[in-house]
Chains A and B, each alone.
Chain A
Amino acid sequence: MTCLEVRDLLAEYAVDGLEAAERRRVEHHLGSCPGCGKEVEELREGAAAVALELFAAPPPEGLEDKVAGAVRHQARRKWLRRRRSARVLVAAAAAAALLSAGAIGGAVAMRGQVSNLKQQVHATRISLEQVQSIVQALATNARVYRTDLNPVAGRIADQGGTGILFTAPNRDDWIFVQVLVAHPGTGPYRVLLEQRDGTRVEAGELEPAGRNEFVLFSTKGANLFDNDPSQVARVVILDPAGKPLLEGSVVATTAPAP
């Protein structure tokens, strides 16, 4: 919407007279236009004057206590919700870690059956599906995104990994990455999240978990991808020299929350 179109609607907006869709369009514009924002603030001052003009009926006795009680109740609910969320995530972390250990065990067991790392990578990708389903079951409205990590051009082909990024409303952002590398050395291998706007966020270092295997299961708090894994376009694993070793596009495994 242009400023001209928005200003035609601002008086109605100031008195809450717009339909929801039109209001959203105006608010979208106001979010980035200080000029229209100033104008709507002035119109709202006029509207507030109408409210303040009303005969000031004294509120009933006890309403102040009810108001204070309502805020206290909501603040407590928020605190409990956060606490419960933290517990759910700890449970999810534990479950994923166990499955990770299972995957490692599976990979170790498969060493006797498969001849190369490429097949082990395939096995760990299958086991990751269990982690995804556990996270979805434990965290209501969880948004789970997945990436299959493959060698970048010019690197050894028989290595790879998987990763999941997950979050849920009012919860921190989490990431789980598991990779199998051909010549592991001592590391460190670092995990980078490439955002859709081109910026990069460092998620952490992979920990050794087996002969060729490294894992990362951690959170950096709510700001890892701002509760929205769809912001992350790619996951990149850097080798100890800081050069890209593995990379993968991030795709949703669940429908975005409404």
Chain B
Amino acid sequence: MARLVAGDQEAVRTLYSRFGPPVYALGLRMLGSSQSAEELTQDVFVAAWRKGSAFDASRGRLSTWLMAIAHNVAVDRLRHEHGPSRPPLVFVGESPEAVPVLEEEALVGRETARRAMLDVSPDERRLLVLAYLQGWTAREIARADGIPLGTVKTRLRTALIKMRAAQAVHARTVARSGGETE
């Protein structure tokens, strides 16, 4: 991370090789076009370079930190570009663009996450898509679904905890079978 902060090109490329694909995929899913996803990816890695000195490995994972930056930048763009109106809802499992599959090793992290997503209920999955991928606020979801705000908050929290727990379980399984988890 110190090398990234210093602007070391090799460090930037190493970080990109690990997290470029998921950041780009998040941009593609949330913003809906490859051009926006490319711009987002550049913005995210510049932000990571700027904020790199604030990353504390003892407080969290690099992947969580970087994806949080990516999501934050994407939500900002989404709200800036779409305002109160939202792009059409796309459920997890569908993709806005037909994409080939990457090599297996690079998808180990994704595979554990995919299995984790299958562990949450359909309602929780939909809630995660709305809140995380579509950038809806809890209040907007409550209004759209006609349920109390408190219920949305509780369900969102439960879904996130389940995702984390399920991913940890699957990651351990993958690790035992010889794959990498992050």
Interface residues of B in 3-58 (CB under 8 A from A): 7, 9, 12-13, 16-17, 20-22, 24-26, 28-29, 34, 37-38, 41-43, 45-46, 49-50
> Quick one: CB contact mask for B121-147 with A, threshold 8 Å, 1 for yes?
000000010011101111000000000
- Are A59 and B132 in touch, CB under 8 angstroms? no
- Are B38 and A60 in touch, CB under 8 angstroms? yes
- Are A58 and B99 in touch, CB under 8 angstroms? yes
> Quick one: CB contact mask for A28-43 with B, threshold 8 Å, 1 for yes?
0000000001100111
- Are B135 and A54 in touch, CB under 8 angstroms? no
- Are B138 and A50 in touch, CB under 8 angstroms? no
Tell me whether A57 and B95 are in contact in the complex, defined as CB-CB below 8 angstroms, given that A50-B163, A52-B113 are known contacts.
Answer: yes
What is the distance, in angstroms, from A25's C-beta to the closest C-beta of chain B?
16
Interface residues of B, dominant DSSP = helix
Interface status of A66 (Cβ within 8 A of chain B)? yes
Q: Which residues of A contact B172 (CB under 8 A)?
A: none
Which residue of A has the minimal Cβ distance to B15? A67
Tell me whether A10 and B99 are in contact in the complex, defined as CB-CB below 8 angstroms, given that A42-B164, A52-B109 are known contacts.
Answer: no
Set B41, B109, B166: member contacting A59, Cβ < 8 A: B41
Tell me whether A75 and B7 are in contact in the complex, defined as CB-CB below 8 angstroms, given that A49-B116, A63-B20, A70-B45 are known contacts.
Answer: yes
- Are A53 and B117 in touch, CB under 8 angstroms? yes
- Are A66 and B163 in touch, CB under 8 angstroms? no
- Are A54 and B156 in touch, CB under 8 angstroms? no
Total chain B interface residues with beta-carbon distance under 8 A = 70
Interface status of A64 (Cβ within 8 A of chain B)? yes
Which residue of A has the minimal Cβ distance to B158? A11
Which residue of B has the minimal Cβ distance to A8? B153
Tell me whether A63 and B41 are in contact in the complex, defined as CB-CB below 8 angstroms, given that A11-B156, A57-B24 are known contacts.
Answer: yes
- Are B132 and A10 in touch, CB under 8 angstroms? no
Interface residues of B in 82-98 (CB under 8 A from A): 92, 95, 97
Q: Which of A10, A55, A58 has the most CB of B within 10 A?
A: A55
Set B12, B28, B114, B135: member contacting A53, Cβ < 8 A: B114
> What 4 A-B pairs are tightest by C-beta distance, nearest first?
A75-B7, A46-B160, A46-B164, A52-B113
Binding site for A on B (CB under 8 A): 7, 9, 12-13, 16-17, 20-22, 24-26, 28-29, 34, 37-38, 41-43, 45-46, 49-50, 59-61, 63-64, 67-68, 70-72, 75, 92, 95, 97, 99-102, 106-107, 109-110, 112-114, 116-117, 128, 131-133, 135-138, 153, 156-157, 159-164, 166-167
Binding site for B on A (CB under 8 A): 8, 10-12, 14-19, 37-38, 41-60, 63-64, 66-68, 70-72, 74-75
